[in-house]
Amino acid sequence: MRIRDIMSTNVVAVDEKTSIHDARKIMEAHRIRRLPVMKKDQLVGLVTKHMLLEASPSPATALSIHELHYLLAKMTVKDIMVKKPYTISPDMPPEEALQLGQEMGYGGFPVVEGGRLVGIVTESDIVRLMTRVLGVTKKGKRITIKAPDVFGNMQRIMEILDKHKTVLLSLMSLKEPEEDYYMVVLRLQCDDAEPIAKELRSSGFNVTYVG
């Protein structure tokens, strides 16, 4: 799975000479929060809904409402955009893009391939993907295990699931810093997870939740 598999390819973009007023209208019409800014065929900037809402001339408090509207009408996205925005490749794994967005404080990225804008991806796109990956849209049961950081544990867990002929909807493992165990969360396609939990316990696993 790569960014190209989840990005929006029907990208709504604007020219750098687009007025702030028109950019707002475009965002409202398409229900989007980001607009790539183009100069001919090249990506030169990015403007967000937040930027547009905050846009105002610096001497605004000294102007009449008519003067203010006049100056705002003169402003273009070029005046407020992020120039040369950070872009990502369509071949980047989604989890790397999510981590990058968290580190940089970005909610989305233009996607560029061969110098050409080919898409845009947001944290909402990645969250929707993770929802599918975790299987939360499908009904099932959940078992949480504290598993020692020991080779072979995952195989033992899978063998127990196979024995009970239970389909694994998703598996998530988390390791806390400086801890010697993993928190393993199993989402299972079954009506009753107690027999599986019982066998996991008898095999030495610390089952902390069944439900």
Task: State pLDDT tens for residues 11-68.
Answer: 999 999 999 989 999 999 999 999 999 998 899 999 999 888 887 555 445 555 566 6
List the domains of the chain with CATH numbers.
Answer: 3-131 (3.10.580.10), 134-210 (3.30.2130.10)
**E strand segments, 67-196:** 82-83, 108-113, 116-122, 141-148, 167-174, 181-189
Give 158-194 pLDDT, tens digit per residue.
Answer: 999 999 999 998 888 888 776 788 889 999 999 999 9
Query: 15: which DSSP letter?
Result: E
Give 73-125 pLDDT, tens digit per residue.
Answer: 778 999 999 999 999 999 999 989 988 998 998 989 999 999 999 999 998 88
Query: 180: which DSSP letter?
Result: S
Q: How many CB atoms lie within 10 A of CB 202?
A: 9
Dihedrals phi, psi of 10, to nearest 5 degrees: -85, 70
Nearest-angstrom CA–CA distance, 172 and 151 = 17
With 0.85 as the threshold, say if the pTM is over it.
no
What per-residue confidence (pLDDT) applies to 33? Answer: 92
Nearest Cα neighbor of 158 from 210, 203, 106 is: 203
What per-residue confidence (pLDDT) applies to 60? Answer: 46
Give 138-162 pLDDT, tens digit per residue.
Answer: 788 999 999 888 888 889 999 999 9
